[in-house]
Amino acid sequence: MFFPTFRARRIRSKEVFRRMVRETSLSVDDLIYPMFSAFGKGIRKEISSMPGIYQQSIENIVEEAQELYELGVPAVILFGIPEKKDAVGSDAYSETGIIQETIRALKKQVPGLAVITDVCMCEYTDHGHCGIIKDGDVDNDSTLELLAKEALSHALAGADMVAPSDMMDGRVAAIREILDENGFNNIPVMSYAVKYASGYYGPFREAAESTPQFGDRRSYQMDPANRLEAVREAQMDVEEGADIIMVKPGLPYLDIVREMRNEFNLPVAVYNVSGEYSMIKAAGKMGWIDEDRVIMETMLSFKRAGADLILTYHAKEVAKLLHKGYEISRASRCGCP
């Protein structure tokens, strides 16, 4: 196809044609909103590096969850800030832990909203790592027992889905086994199958108060240079019973999202992480970008790469823009380059 016989701009010339041939679509049903539940009452503390995102006590979590539900956002994923932390993250699997109590409140007061829980230890340990420490590193196999207990405690409290983010080998199998043994064979597992050791997590560590007190997480999270390893990691989780596989972070790893879409026929999720959110917010505040346009363009990039689900702190903003009928092509009328 060559000019002038073929003119690509013919179809671009009218908005109606652009809509008709658009290859990628974004829906409110694609969104999952992360929330940070804090022990106590009357808490609504904005995270300094994440404008618009808060640590909140349960009554405020419920209030925001109701807003999300009314906007059509189908699901939230919960992270906890407990009253106390210890070496084995006891609050993570306590019947009365912060997340367990938050699940019960949400399922009672916003029953139509799907509640997903992050299954990890870093928010609950006093050392900030994702499991039991032995000889200066996280011990994989003993940590599996605690992760399985945590997932079961979430299911018992009423969680609709569990999402292990720890990157321990074998954790999907351990969680699937304990859920099935206790009658929760219908609870799906959304595995953080491909989670890189990334610098984009900085603001989250403020939000979840989960900064490691020594070392880093490179012995269990993936090397950012590796692509084929991502396929192996995801394959293991699929074989162990994962129902959804996730890539984290999002924007720097769109090639990996596409790799997952090409390799597997399971739903693929992507986590639009805190650092990605904060960069857009900072640039928007400075007037360097059209914030709404960049948010929507970012969401479309995830969908175009092959993601079915997007975990994003922008979920409320995206839902509101979609309800207003926002089209990314409106930028063509704003004088933007």
Return the active site residues: 195, 248
Query: Count of H helices and E strands in the chain?
Result: 12, 12
| H or E element at residue 33 | strand 31-38
Question: Among candidates 196, 251, 246, 194, which has minimal Cα distance to 218?
Answer: 196
CB burial of residue 186 (10 Å; 0-12, 13-18, 19+): exposed
Contacting residues for 306 by C-beta, under 8 A, at least 6 apart? 257, 258, 260, 261, 262, 268
Radius of gyration of the chain from its Cα atoms, rounded to whole angstroms: 21
Q: Residue 46 in contact with residue 53, Cβ under 8 Å? A: yes
Residue 325 per-residue DSSP state: T
